[in-house]
């Protein structure tokens, strides 16, 4: 197993399930005791738009989400989603993500966990 495969395996334990299929870890930092994992969406055209002639237009501003703590330290995911536009048109598209719990800045998994604790 290569070092890259080992790193991906280790991070997949701590990150929301399946996120590494569509995002690359581009940086890891710490601010004020918070671990920040920086993720950029891979340049993979969303399946629902595969028939369109799309151009990669960079990223939206990063969104910060709180996720499960690691070893007693808060974890924040800084996620940059990719923007696409259809060539010769003003049509803008992006992948639909439902990893964010509605009305919060928590990952959906973490919000469900906290909700279950409150019962």
Domain membership of residue 15 as a residue range = 3-117
3-state secondary structure of 49: helix
Q: Tell me if 25 sits within 8 A of 53, measured CB to CB.
A: no
Report, as an integer, the average pLDDT of 54-80.
91
| Confidence label for 32 from pLDDT (cuts 50, 70 and 90) | very high
Residue 102 is predicted with a pLDDT of 60
Least confident residue range of 1-15, 25-39, 68-82, 95-109: 95-109
- 92, pLDDT greater than 70: yes
Q: Which residue has the higher pLDDT, 47 or 107?
A: 47
Q: Report the alpha-carbon distance of residue 75 to residue 45 in Å, rounded.
A: 29
Q: Tell me if 61 sits within 8 A of 67, measured CB to CB.
A: no
Q: Report the alpha-carbon distance of residue 109 to residue 1 in Å, rounded.
A: 29
């Amino acid at each position: 197993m290569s070092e890259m495969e080992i790193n991906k395996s280790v991070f997949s334990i701590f990150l929301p399930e399946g996120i590494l299929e569509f995002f690359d870890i581009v940086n890891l930092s710490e601010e004020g005791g918070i671990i920040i994992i920086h993720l950029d969406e891979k340049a993979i055209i969303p399946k629902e738009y595969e028939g369109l002639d799309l151009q990669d237009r960079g990223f939206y501003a990063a969104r910060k989400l709180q996720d499960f703590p690691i070893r007693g330290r808060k974890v924040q995911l800084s996620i940059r989603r990719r923007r696409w536009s259809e060539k010769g048109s003003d049509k803008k598209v992006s992948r639909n993500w439902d990893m964010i719990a509605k009305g919060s800045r928590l990952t959906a998994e973490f919000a469900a966990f906290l909700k279950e604790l409150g019962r």
